[in-house]
Amino acid sequence: MVEYAPLDLPDNPRLAGNITHFARALRRGGLPIGPGRVIDAIRAVEAAGFTEKRDFYWTLHACFVNRPEHARIFAQLFRLYWRDPRYLEHMMAAMLPAIRGVQEERPAQAAEKRAAEALLDGAEAPPQEEVETPEQDALIEVDASLTMSTSERLRTLDFELMSLAEVAQAKRMLAKLSLPIKPLPSRRSVVSFGHGGLDAKRSLRAALRRGGEMDGLALKRPKPRWPNLVVLCDISGSMSQYSRIILHFLHAVANERGAGWAQVHAFTFGTQLTNISRHLRTRDVDAALKAAGAQAQDWEGGTRIGQSLAAFNKHWSRRVLGQGAVVLLITDGLDRDDPDALAREMKRLHLTARRVIWLNPLLRWDGFAPKAAGIRAMLPHVDSFRAGHSIESLEALAAAISKPDDVGEKKRLLEMIETE
């Protein structure tokens, strides 16, 4: 934790009131905090003292945070509320378009918008000192984002940088997004009454039943064979925000009629593999993801991609990878396992699946390069390598999933590895 210079204490301190107001901000940010927790926090601070900021942080953390996904929002709100006396100005700069250069040049950090919404609920911008400037030197900066519609800007916005309202709107947009697939070629056929090829066997059997008289020809057409969709989703700490929103999208795919998939199987992994397929079949998305989150005990934990893939290849691949299954692998590839073991498991997965498509949120960076050992081990064993950090990237996936020649960014990144 960063060390700060000591702050001057006011003559009439109101620590209990500040803790109460801080709890209200946390509640607006999505943390389930009631009056009992606020009272416990005040008593805990009274018992632990207020001498070290680190101790104060972890005291409030122990009272207010009980789920891993809430830790990041708590950290942002604590940093803004308890440290910077100009936090309101910084938050207004993060939330509103800027004129006269008030907005900070840096992009919003993860969970910072959600923290800003919690702190700015009903607040107004701090008064700015008016400075007279000559007319010839006056420059007005216009935020170009205002020229885009809200939905268009939201399509390209990173999931990690969305506010609570933007996340809710993004989930509604993803619920309408489909992931269609074309049927696979099949040797089996079904009866056709309108058009199709000649079914010689059925025609001859019908003639034999009539004593050899043939009064018509039976027709047949190829029977459509739909593949399975198998999703392996990383829910470790670095992927938690992306995986939660993408699982909303996968729930819509699993419950969509006529999309073409025979079955949708979903697995989450962090330090262990968890099958959540039956939860995605629940029509209510909130109930489905709540049940999936309760079953998967390794949310926002470590990452063991090689170990999880080994468990999938051993226990599940023969069950779900039939019928020309398409595997959707959602992870950043940052793994601490042995790269050689990870490469072996990826090769085995690639051989048993019809296609393996890797969605990696790290591709949102223009200067992304395959430096991590896990990414280097996995990249040769996928058919397509695509970004998965925004609604626009998922729309691109929907357009490319039926194209067998689509490789995404795989070819370019492999050339970067070869030239090193």
Which range among 52-56, 112-116, 323-327 has the greatest average pLDDT?
Answer: 323-327
Q: Is residue 146 part of a domain?
A: no
pLDDT at 106 over 50: no
Split into its structural domains, the chain has a count of 3
DSSP string of 195-241? S-EE-HHHHHHHHHHTTT------EEEEPPBPPPEEEEEE-SGGGHH
Last residue of a domain, one of 119, 151, 168: 119
For 6-23, what is each residue's pLDDT tens digit? 544 445 557 788 888 888
Q: Is residue 51 part of a domain?
A: yes
Higher model confidence: residue 115 or residue 189?
Answer: 189
pLDDT at 215: 77
CB 384 within 8 A of CB 400: yes
Question: Do both 393 and 311 map to the same domain?
Answer: yes
Supply the CATH number for residue 328's domain. Answer: 3.40.50.410
Which range among 28-32, 211-215, 228-232, 399-403 has the greatest average pLDDT?
Answer: 228-232
Last residue of a domain, one of 178, 204, 222: 222
Query: Does residue 333 sit in helix, strand or coil?
Result: coil
**Secondary structure letter of residue 96 according to DSSP:** S
Question: Do both 215 and 307 map to the same domain?
Answer: no
Query: Could you give the CA distance from residue 84 to residue 72 in angstroms, rounded to a whole number?
Result: 18
Tell me what the mean pLDDT of segment 386-411 comes to.
89
Q: Is residue 165 part of a domain?
A: no
Question: Do both 211 and 286 map to the same domain?
Answer: no
Q: Is residue 275 part of a domain?
A: yes
Buried b (16+ CB within 10 A) or exposed e, 356-378: bbbbbbbbbeeeeebeebbbbbb
Query: Could you give the CA distance from residue 217 to residue 314 in angstroms, rounded to a whole number?
Result: 49
Q: How confident is the model at residue 95 (pLDDT cuts 50, 70, 90)?
A: very low
Query: Could you give the CA distance from residue 393 to residue 388 in angstroms, rounded to a whole number?
Result: 5
The gap from C-alpha 247 to its chain's centroid, in whole angstroms, comes to 7
Question: Do both 48 and 193 map to the same domain?
Answer: no
Residue 90's domain spans which residues? 15-119
Last residue of a domain, one of 64, 87, 119: 119
Tell me what the mean pLDDT of segment 258-286 comes to.
86
Question: Do both 65 and 198 map to the same domain?
Answer: no
Question: Do both 293 and 406 map to the same domain?
Answer: yes
For 45-80, what is each residue's pLDDT tens digit? 888 876 778 888 898 999 999 877 788 888 888 887
pLDDT at 314 over 90: yes
pLDDT at 196: 74
Question: Do both 380 and 251 map to the same domain?
Answer: yes
pTM over 0.75: no
Q: Is residue 200 part of a domain?
A: yes
Higher model confidence: residue 6 or residue 376?
Answer: 376
pLDDT at 149: 65
Tell me what the mean pLDDT of segment 280-294 comes to.
84
pLDDT at 153: 82
Q: Is residue 156 part of a domain?
A: no
Question: Do both 319 and 358 map to the same domain?
Answer: yes
pLDDT at 148 over 70: no
pLDDT at 135: 47
pLDDT at 351: 93
Q: Is residue 159 part of a domain?
A: no
Question: Do both 409 and 270 map to the same domain?
Answer: yes
**Ramachandran quadrant class, 199 (left: phi over 0; alpha: psi -120 to 50; beta: rest):** beta
Tell me what the mean pLDDT of segment 365-386 comes to.
90
For 154-201, what is each residue's pLDDT tens digit? 888 888 888 878 888 888 888 888 888 887 777 777 777 777 777 788
pLDDT at 23: 87
pLDDT at 136: 46
Question: Do both 272 and 395 map to the same domain?
Answer: yes
Question: Do both 396 and 280 map to the same domain?
Answer: yes
pLDDT at 403 over 80: yes
Q: How confident is the model at residue 229 (pLDDT cuts 50, 70, 90)?
A: very high
Question: Do both 233 and 304 map to the same domain?
Answer: yes
Query: Could you give the CA distance from residue 311 to residue 42 in angstroms, rounded to a whole number?
Result: 46
Q: Is residue 42 part of a domain?
A: yes
The full 3-state SS of 18-85, as one line of letters, equals HHHHHHHHHHHCCCCCCHHHHHHHHHHHHHHCCCCHHHHHHHHHHHHCCCHHHHHHHHHHHHHHHCCC
